[in-house]
C-alpha cells in the first residue's frame, strides 16, 4: 500500500509540472479505482469535453477510420421508383454470336427486386436468333418466358422507331449505347416522339475513349430536357470478370472527375447489375454516373464498398449508399470523429506510459499475492496430509507388524494423503465437498493408474526378455 501511495505522489507531482506548459483548459486527474489498480483519467475542453484518445480496443471500435462498421448503420429499406411496372424494352443486346446476353433480362426479372414488369421485350437484330439465345431452361424456371417478347429491328444495329416504342407500349427503356454518344441524342429524340417512355436507362461502355467532358455533358443535357426519368451508367472497357469482384467508385459523367484513364476496365456482369439497380432506385433518377473499378485497397471507396458488403447490405442497398452518401460522407465522418476525439498528444503518450507502469506494478502485486496464497494453501494441505499419514502409520503399527519406517510409509501413501489433505482443507474453509463420492472417484483413478503402471512394467519386462533372447540367439549364431 505504501508503494502504491509513493507512486501516486510521484505521478501527481510530474503531472502538475506538465499542466503548467499546456493550456489552462486541460486538467490531468489521477485517481485510484481500487487497492490493486490505478486509473489515469484525462479530460479536455471543460467538464463535458471529448476525452483524448488512447491506443486501446475501445477507441479502435469507435473510430470509423479503423473500424468502418462503427460508421455504417444497419441496412434499412431503400426508396424505389414508383413506375416500375408495365412493359420494359431492352435494346442493344442478344446480337452477339459469342454471348447469350441473358444476364440483363434475368436482372430485370428478379423476384426480390423493385421491378413489377408484366412484359420484358427484347429489341433485336434477328428475332429467330434471339429466341434461340434467350429461351433457355433458366428462363423457364424463373418465369422469364412468361414475360418475354421480341421485336425485330428494321435494320441491323438500329434503334427502335417511335412507332415501335408506341406499339410495344414501353413504359421503361433499357439501352446499350456502346461507346457512341450520338446514340444518347437519338434515344432522347425517340423518347420525346413516342410519348410513352417514363424511364430510360442507358449503358455507355468504353467510356475511356470519350475525349473531353463537353461531349459527354452535351449528351446529358439532351436527356435533362425530356419529361421522363433518365439514368446514364458509363464504364470502361468491358472485361469478363465476375460480378462484384472489385469495389468501385462513382463520379459524375461529363465532368473532369468522370474522365477515365486509357486502361480503365469494368466487369460486364457488374455493369449490367449497376444498370439494372440504378433503374430501380429512386436515388438513380436523373443521374449520369461513371463507375470505376478500384484496385487500391487503401482507397476510401475500396474500404467503403467492402464494409457495406461485410455489413450485410444487399446490392441495391450498397449501390444506393454509394450514390446518396458515398466516400464523401464517410470521409466527413472520419474528420468529425477526429474533432470529437483528438489524436493523442505528447503529454497523453507520457501519461499512458506512466499508467502502464502503474498497471504493471499493480499486476505484479496481484501475481505475488496470488502466488503467496497458492503457496500457503499448498503448505497447509501438505501439513494436513502428513498428519493424516502419521495417524494411519500409528494405527497400523499398533495393530500388527509394520515392515516400513514412518517416512517410508508416508511416502508410499502420499497421493492418498494429499487427497485427504485437500478434502479436509476445503471442509475447513467452508467449500462444498462430497467425501464419499470424491473418495470413490479417487479410488477409481488410482486403480486405473495402477493398471497402467502394471501394463507399462509388463511391456518393459517383455521388451527386456526379447532383447535377452536376441542376444542369446546372436551368440549361438556366432558360434
Q: Give CA–CA dist 107/115, Å, rounded.
A: 9
Where are the domains positioned within the chain?
A: 85-293, 356-468
Q: Whose grid coordinates read 466487369?
A: 267
> What DSSP character marks residue 431?
-
Grid cell, residue 452, equals 497402467
Taking domain 85-293, whether its CATH number is 3.40.50.720 is answered by yes
Q: What is the pLDDT of residue 162?
A: 95
CB under 8 A, 24+ apart: contacts of 443-451: 446/415, 446/416
Q: Of 189, 154, 159, 151, which Cα lies nearest the Cα of 177?
A: 159
H helix intervals, 225-345 = 268-280, 300-310, 315-324, 326-340
The pairing of strands 27-34 and 37-43 is: antiparallel
The rounded Cα 24 to chain-centroid distance in angstroms is: 43
Q: Angle formed by the axes of helices 346-399 and 414-428, to 10°?
A: 120
SS3 track for 157-196? CCCCCHHHHHHHCEEEEEEEEECCCHHHHHHHHHHHHHCC
> Tens digit of pLDDT for each residue in 36-58?
333 333 333 333 444 444 445 56
Q: Give CA–CA dist 388/293, Å, rounded.
A: 79
Q: Do 197 and 166 touch, CB atoms closer than 8 A?
A: no
Q: Give CA–CA dist 20/22, Å, rounded.
A: 6
Q: Do 275 and 230 touch, CB atoms closer than 8 A?
A: no
390: number of Cβ within 10 Å: 14
The pairing of strands 237-239 and 229-234 is: unpaired
Q: How far is CA 81 from CA 84, 116, 130, 194, 285, in A?
A: 6, 11, 29, 21, 8
448: number of Cβ within 10 Å: 10
Q: What is the pLDDT of residue 476?
A: 65
Grid cell, residue 100, equals 447469350
Which residues make beta-bridge pairs with 148? 120
Q: Give CA–CA dist 372/456, Å, rounded.
A: 38
Q: What is the pLDDT of residue 344?
A: 62
Residues 6+ apart with CB under 8 A from 124: 93, 94, 95, 130, 150, 151, 152, 153
Residues of the chain short of pLDDT 50, as ranges, are: 1-11, 13-55
Q: Give CA–CA dist 219/183, Å, rounded.
A: 9
Q: What is the pLDDT of residue 477?
A: 62
Amino acid at each position: 500500500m505504501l508503494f502504491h501511495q509513493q507512486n501516486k505522489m510521484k505521478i501527481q507531482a510530474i503531472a502538475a509540472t506538465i499542466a503548467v506548459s499546456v493550456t489552462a483548459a486541460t486538467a490531468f486527474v489521477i485517481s485510484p479505482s481500487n487497492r490493486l489498480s490505478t486509473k489515469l483519467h484525462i479530460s479536455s475542453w471543460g467538464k463535458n469535453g471529448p476525452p483524448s484518445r488512447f491506443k486501446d480496443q475501445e477507441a479502435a471500435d469507435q473510430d470509423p477510420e479503423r473500424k468502418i462498421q462503427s460508421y455504417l448503420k444497419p441496412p434499412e429499406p431503400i426508396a424505389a421508383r414508383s413506375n416500375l411496372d408495365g412493359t420494359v424494352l431492352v435494346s442493344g443486346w442478344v446480337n452477339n454470336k459469342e454471348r447469350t446476353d441473358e444476364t440483363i433480362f434475368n436482372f430485370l426479372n428478379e423476384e426480390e427486386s423493385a421491378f413489377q414488369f408484366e412484359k420484358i421485350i427484347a429489341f433485336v437484330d434477328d428475332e429467330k436468333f434471339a429466341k434461340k439465345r434467350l429461351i433457355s431452361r433458366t428462363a423457364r424456371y424463373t418465369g422469364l418466358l412468361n414475360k418475354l417478347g421480341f421485336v425485330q429491328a428494321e435494320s441491323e444495329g438500329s434503334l427502335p422507331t417511335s412507332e415501335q416504342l408506341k406499339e410495344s407500349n414501353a413504359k421503361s427503356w433499357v439501352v446499350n449505347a456502346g461507346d457512341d454518344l450520338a446514340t444518347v441524342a437519338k434515344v432522347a429524340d425517340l423518347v420525346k416522339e413516342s410519348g410513352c417512355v417514363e424511364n430510360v436507362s442507358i449503358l455507355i461502355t468504353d467510356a475511356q475513349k470519350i475525349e473531353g467532358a463537353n461531349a459527354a455533358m452535351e449528351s446529358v443535357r439532351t436527356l435533362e430536357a425530356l419529361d421522363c426519368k433518365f439514368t446514364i451508367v458509363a464504364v470502361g472497357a468491358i472485361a469478363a470478370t465476375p460480378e462484384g469482384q472489385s469495389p468501385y467508385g462513382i463520379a459524375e459523367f461529363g465532368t473532369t472527375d468522370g474522365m477515365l484513364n486509357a486502361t480503365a476496365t469494368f466487369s460486364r456482369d457488374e455493369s449490367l447489375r449497376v444498370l439494372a439497380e440504378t433503374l430501380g432506385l429512386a436515388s438513380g433518377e436523373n443521374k449520369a454516373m461513371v463507375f470505376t473499378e478500384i484496385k487500391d485497397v487503401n482507397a476510401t471507396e475500396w474500404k467503403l464498398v467492402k464494409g457495406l458488403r461485410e455489413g450485410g447490405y444487399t446490392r441495391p442497398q450498397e449501390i444506393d449508399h454509394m450514390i446518396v452518401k458515398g466516400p464523401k460522407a464517410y470521409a466527413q465522418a472520419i474528420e468529425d470523429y477526429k474533432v470529437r476525439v483528438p489524436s493523442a498528444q505528447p503529454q497523453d503518450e507520457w501519461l499512458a506510459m506512466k499508467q502502464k507502469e502503474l498497471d504493471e506494478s499493480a499486476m505484479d502485486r496481484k501475481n505475488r499475492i496470488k502466488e503467496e496464497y497458492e503457496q500457503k494453501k499448498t503448505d497447509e494441505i501438505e501439513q494436513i496430509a502428513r498428519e493424516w499419514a502419521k495417524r494411519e502409520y500409528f494405527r497400523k503399527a499398533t495393530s500388527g507388524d509394520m515392515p516400513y519406517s514412518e517416512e517410508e510409509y508416508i511416502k508410499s501413501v502420499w497421493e492418498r494423503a494429499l487427497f485427504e489433505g485437500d478434502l479436509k482443507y476445503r471442509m475447513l474453509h467452508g467449500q462444498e465437498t462430497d467425501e464419499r463420492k470424491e473418495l470413490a472417484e479417487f479410488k477409481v483413478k488410482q486403480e486405473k493408474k495402477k493398471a497402467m503402471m502394471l501394463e507399462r512394467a509388463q511391456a518393459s519386462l517383455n521388451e527386456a526378455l526379447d532383447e535377452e533372447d536376441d542376444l542369446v540367439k546372436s551368440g549361438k549364431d556366432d558360434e
